[in-house]
Amino acid sequence: MIETTRVRTVLSMHSKPVLKRHVRLQYDKVRTAWALLSPERVFWPNEVSLDILRLCDGRHSVAQMIVLLGDQYGADEAEIAPDVTGFLQEWSDKFLVTL
Partner 1 sequence: MTEPVLPPIGMLAELTHRCPLQCAYCSNPVELLKANREMDTQGWISLFEQAADLGVLQVHLSGGEPTLRTDLAELIASLARRGVYTNLITAGVGIAEGRIEAFAEAGLDHVQLSFQGAFAATTEKIGNSRGAHEKKLDTARRIRKAGLPLTINAPIHRHNMEEVPDFIELALSLDAERLEIANVQYAGWALLNRKALMPEREAVERQVEIVEEAQERLRGIMTIDFVTPDYFAVYPKPCMGGWARDAFMVAPDGTVLPCHAAGTIKSLSFERFGEWDLSRIWHESSAFNAFRGTDWMQEPCRSCERQEIDWGGCRCQAMAIAGDAAATDPACIKSPLHARMGALIKEAINTMASDEASDAFTYRRIGRVAEPIA
Where along the sequence are the contacts to partner 1 (CB under 8 A)? 2, 4, 6-9, 20-22, 24, 26, 28, 30-31, 35, 37-40, 42, 92-95
**Based on CB atoms, which residue is closest to partner 1, 50 or 75?**
50
**Based on CB atoms, which residue is closest to partner 1, 27 or 78?**
27
Shortest distance (Å) from residue 75 CB to partner 1: 28
Find the largest Cα–Cα distance for the chain.
Answer: 49
For 38, phi then psi, to 5°, come to -145, 170
Cβ-in-10-Å burial (0-12, 13-18, 19+) of 71 comes to exposed
Shortest distance (Å) from residue 94 CB to partner 1: 7
Q: How long is the chain?
A: 99
